[in-house]
Amino acid sequence: MSWLYDLALTALYFTGFAVIHTITASKWLKRLAAVSFPGFMPWYRLSYNIISLVTLYIFYDLSPKNGYTIYDLPTPVDLVFAGLQFLCFMGMGWVFRYISGREFMGMAQPFRAMKGNYRPLQDLDEIAPLRIEGPYRFSRHPLYLFCILFLALRPQMQVDYLFLVILITAYFYIGSIFEERKLVGEYGETYLNYQKSVGRIFPKVSGRFVKAEG
């Protein structure tokens, strides 16, 4: 039963990462930072991303590695899955066409601040307008969708990796709930109607998609 202990330990470490990630992404902490350290706010998003990457690496490094293989797809099936992963990677690029990659990574904010175009309390760590075009016509969180599919379509699957995919999927789903509470507060009826038409992460099987504007 050592594998159960390993999975429990992995879940514990991931919970630690998730708590840190959630707190640093919370609006109340951003507002506190904006009031207490307004000069730091242009660097908040970049710092947040760095902290997320470092804590994710620490989590992965500390987590037990259960090498038990569930399946190892033979050639050419593994090449098909690798091709699907590539399409998911391209899908992530498609999403970034509809968001500001520099804003998302935290690289645009310091330059906006130097130009005097940064409002710490209003902008907090990033400007994120409502998007319902492109990939957002099919999924309210298309970046989560493509990340999950990319991870799940790995040609070789081990127990620890599958458990990690499940944890990440659950975290994305829970995180999206809190994200959408903020979006409903900002955009009201517009976002509520959007929620009815488009699936949270996975597209709705009904095939009802938001029409692209223009």
How far apart, in whole angstroms, are the C-alpha atoms of residue 13 and residue 59? Answer: 6
User: Amino acid identity, residue 195?
Assistant: Q
Asked whether residue 214 carries a pLDDT value surpassing 50, the answer given is: no
Q: What average pLDDT does the segment 98-119 reach?
A: 83
Domain ranges of the chain: 3-197
Q: What average pLDDT does the segment 62-82 reach?
A: 89
Q: What angle do CA 191, 195, 199 make, to 5 degrees?
A: 145
Considering 62-71, 120-129, 163-172, the range whose residues carry the highest mean pLDDT is 163-172
> Across all residues in the chain, what is the average pLDDT?
87
User: Amino acid identity, residue 36?
Assistant: S
| 67 secondary structure, DSSP code | -
The residue behind tokens 């797809």 is 73
Asked whether residue 207 carries a pLDDT value surpassing 60, the answer given is: no
Q: What average pLDDT does the segment 8-31 reach?
A: 89
Count of CB atoms situated within 10 Å of the CB of 36: 9
Q: What is the pLDDT, as a whole number, of residue 124?
A: 72
Tokens of 26: 């919370």
| 157 secondary structure, DSSP code | E
How far apart, in whole angstroms, are the C-alpha atoms of residue 150 and residue 144? Answer: 10
Do the beta carbons of residue 134 and residue 214 sit within 8 Å? no
Tokens of 158: 């081990």
